[in-house]
Amino acid sequence: MLQFDYPLAFLLLPLPLLVYWLSGAYRDRGQALRVPFFQRLVELTGQQPRAGAVVIRKTLLQRAVLALSWLLIVLALARPEWAGEPIVREIAARDLLLIVDLSGSMEAQDFS
């Protein structure tokens, strides 16, 4: 069975929507191009300056990837774990102990 260590992390799921709704769009009221020869530039290009800005809209794919990324981040924060019966593993092994005696009594001969 799948369980989560921090299920309260799922309360973070609506956070991007709240930030989107509560924060307004960034608006800059200053001029976009400030050069001393602006009027001459307008005359040379033949284009007239206009107010407004270009707003690039996000595609459906970009929004879906963004939503999926946020969902996976929150899911990882919740720390999912598989809970079930413990699995007992028996590993065949042997204990080996090597003892070396370097004392002076080892220099005596055992058999004559």
pLDDT digits (tens, 9 = 90+) for 24-55: 777 666 656 677 887 888 888 888 777 665 56
Domain ranges across the chain:
2-107
pTM score over 0.75: no
Work out the average pLDDT over 82-98. 88
**98: which residues sit within 8 A by CB, 6+ positions away?**
none
pLDDT at residue 76 in the model? 97
